[in-house]
A = this chain, B = another copy of it.
Amino acid sequence: MKQSQLFTKTQKEAPKDEVSKNAQLLIRAGYVHKEMAGAYDLLPLGFRVVDKIKQIVREEMNAVGATEFLMTSIQNKNTWTDTNRWDDEIVDVWFKSDLHAGGQVGFGWSHEEPITAMMKNHIHSFKDLPVYVYQFQNKLRNELRAKAGLMRGREFIMKDMYSFSIDEETHNVFYNQAMEAYTKSFERLGLGDDTFITFAAGGAFTEFSHEFQTICDAGEDITYINREKNIAINEEVLNEKTLKDLGITEDELEKVTTAEVGNIFNFGTEKCEQMNLYFDGPEGKPIPVHLGSYGIGITRVMGVIAEKMSDENGLVWPEDIAPFRIHLISINADIEAQDIYDKLQESGVEVLWDDRDVRPGQKFADADLIGIPHRVVISPKTIEAGGLEYKKRTDADANIISESDLFQLVK
């Protein structure tokens, strides 16, 4: 894409009311626009990053045999009364609105109840199980405080997956596969080293749930980790019993601030019993379905990466989720740049070409702020020196490479 066609402008300053580092950077670089606290539009650059995050997660969910679908935001009051979660005293993040036709609707902060209700149309017999489905859905939550930028939204994109299983054993098999798929996803998203499978509070059915917590100063959670033993415990369940169960002592643990990027929850048969989702077992006896719920905060992941992977000059995207792979900067060499741009596009390399009529200094500053992994400069000076100036976003120094070197690099 030519940067002259990208309508977003970089900004020296973020809006004064924006206190979070991730949103400040993402706004300044033109990835998002703030509609209000906790609600950010995805501008073309941000849209591309989110699309790549989604695609990585999609591939991993498909790999464990789950099927994509999409539920509505608008939800029925009735769906939530069986589990008592329509009540604002119990769920304090509902957005609700009166329906002109009478009655009320809620806007989906979660889809556990609607998906369970829907499955009553499709699950009747043990032959209909298991079911694994997922969606990328816009959650809406009436958060009292939303000061963490993309990391706590009133509106945010979540990948939510649901498993419906015949019994505990098959449930556990998929639960573990999902856990592995999550681990792979966070590795591919560039967060592998700092993301820990964390024991957290369970529910009526299980002692623990599993959270994926990423070390991040701007996170809202406190996690106790042991890197060697690969154990992590959410502060909320750090007690003698947990330590004993996990065979670890408190002084072996390091206290870190983390952001919850994913979670996995085992409802057992509790929710399906409450909502009357039973199947006919082999002998015709009604048996309640086992439900698992598996979330990844897609836009939160973008926020966490912006928060963690940046320096004083701007964003530093991991290779696989950067909006473009190459930032091509031309300085008085438009014809030569056009040629390289065309060749890169033909090779399927995503390239942003800064073809704007602005000072070189601004081009370099914008490139640092936008944070595309590979920067390539072409100018009469680089041509004279033998080709192109190449620099990784993470490198301090640039060096001259030939055109064929470049194509080797990005192959």
Q: What residues make up the interface of A, taking CB atoms closer than 8 Å to B?
A: 1, 5-9, 11, 33, 35-37, 39-44, 46-47, 50, 65, 67-76, 79, 92-93, 95-97, 99-101, 105, 107, 114, 118-119, 121-124, 127-128, 131, 133, 138, 140, 142-146, 154-155, 357
Contacts of A107 in B (CB 8 A): 73, 95, 97, 107, 140
Closest 4 CB pairs of A and B: A7-B131, A95-B97, A42-B70, A41-B71
User: Measured between C-beta atoms, what is the minimum distance from A144 to chain B in Å?
Assistant: 5
Q: A92-B100, A144-B101 are in contact. Are A11 and B121 (CB under 8 A)?
A: yes
Contacts of A131 in B (CB 8 A): 7
Known: A33-B118, A35-B71, A73-B138. 4 other contacts (CB 8 A): A6-B67, A7-B122, A39-B72, A95-B105
Q: Is the CB of B144 within 8 A of A100?
A: yes
A122 contact from B8, B69, B142, Cβ within 8 A: B8
Considering the complex, give the chain B residue whose CB is closest to the CB of A356: B127
Considering the complex, give the chain B residue whose CB is closest to the CB of A111: B41
Q: Is the CB of B118 within 8 A of A74?
A: no
Q: Is the CB of A41 within 8 A of B9?
A: no
Q: Is the CB of B155 within 8 A of A72?
A: yes
User: Measured between C-beta atoms, what is the minimum distance from A47 to chain B in Å?
Assistant: 5
A75 contact from B35, B69, B138, Cβ within 8 A: B35
Q: Is the CB of A67 within 8 A of B5?
A: yes
Q: Is the CB of B44 within 8 A of A140?
A: no
Q: State in angstroms the CA–CA spacing of A9 and B50 once bound together.
A: 33
Q: State in angstroms the CA–CA spacing of A146 and B146 once bound together.
A: 34
Considering the complex, give the chain B residue whose CB is closest to the CB of A96: B97
Contacts of A40 in B (CB 8 A): 72
Q: A11-B121, A121-B9 are in contact. Are A35 and B76 (CB under 8 A)?
A: yes
Q: Is the CB of B71 within 8 A of A44?
A: no
User: Measured between C-beta atoms, what is the minimum distance from A1 to chain B in Å?
Assistant: 8
Q: Is the CB of B74 within 8 A of A39?
A: yes
Q: Is the CB of A67 within 8 A of B44?
A: yes
Q: State in angstroms the CA–CA spacing of A127 and B7 once bound together.
A: 10
Contacts of A7 in B (CB 8 A): 67, 119, 122-123, 128, 131, 133
Of A37, A41, A131, A144, chain B has the most CB atoms within 10 Å of the CB of: A41
Contacts of A73 in B (CB 8 A): 73, 107, 138, 140, 155
A35 contact from B5, B36, B50, B74, Cβ within 8 A: B74
Q: Is the CB of B9 within 8 A of A122?
A: yes
User: Measured between C-beta atoms, what is the minimum distance from A283 to chain B in Å?
Assistant: 19
Q: A44-B68, A74-B39 are in contact. Are A100 and B143 (CB under 8 A)?
A: yes
Considering the complex, give the chain B residue whose CB is closest to the CB of A79: B35
